[in-house]
Chains A and B, each alone.
Chain A
Amino acid sequence: GEDVEQSLFLSVREGDSSVINCTYTDSSSTYLYWYKQEPGAGLQLLTYIFSNMDMKQDQRLTVLLNKKDKHLSLRIADTQTGDSAIYFCAESMGTGGFKTIFGAGTRLFVKA
Chain B
Amino acid sequence: DTGVSQDPRHKITKRGQNVTFRCDPISEHNRLYWYRQTLGQGPEFLTYFQNEAQLEKSRLLSDRFSAERPKGSFSTLEIQRTEQGDSAMYLCASSPNEAFFGQGTRLTVV
User: CB within 8 A of B93: which of A97, A103, A104?
Assistant: A97
Q: Which residues on A sit within 8 Å (CB–CB) of B31?
A: 96-98
A109 at the interface (CB under 8 A from B): no
Minimum Cβ distance to chain A for residue B33 (Å): 5
Q: A38-95: which have CB < 8 Å to B?
A: 40-45, 48, 88, 90, 95
- With both beta carbons as reference points, the residue of chain A lying nearest to B44 in the complex is identified as A102
The number of A-B residue pairs with CB atoms under 8 Å apart is 59
Chain A interface mostly helix, strand, loop or mixed?
Answer: loop
Q: Which residues on A sit within 8 Å (CB–CB) of B4?
A: 42
- Would you call B98 and A105 a contact (CB within 8 A)? no
B40 at the interface (CB under 8 A from A): yes
A-B residue pairs in contact (CB < 8 Å), sample of 17: A35-B101, A40-B103, A42-B4, A42-B101, A42-B102, A42-B103, A42-B104, A45-B100, A88-B42, A88-B43, A96-B96, A96-B97, A97-B31, A97-B33, A97-B98, A98-B33, A101-B45
Residues of B within 8 A of A (CB): 4, 31, 33, 40-45, 48, 56, 91, 93, 95-104
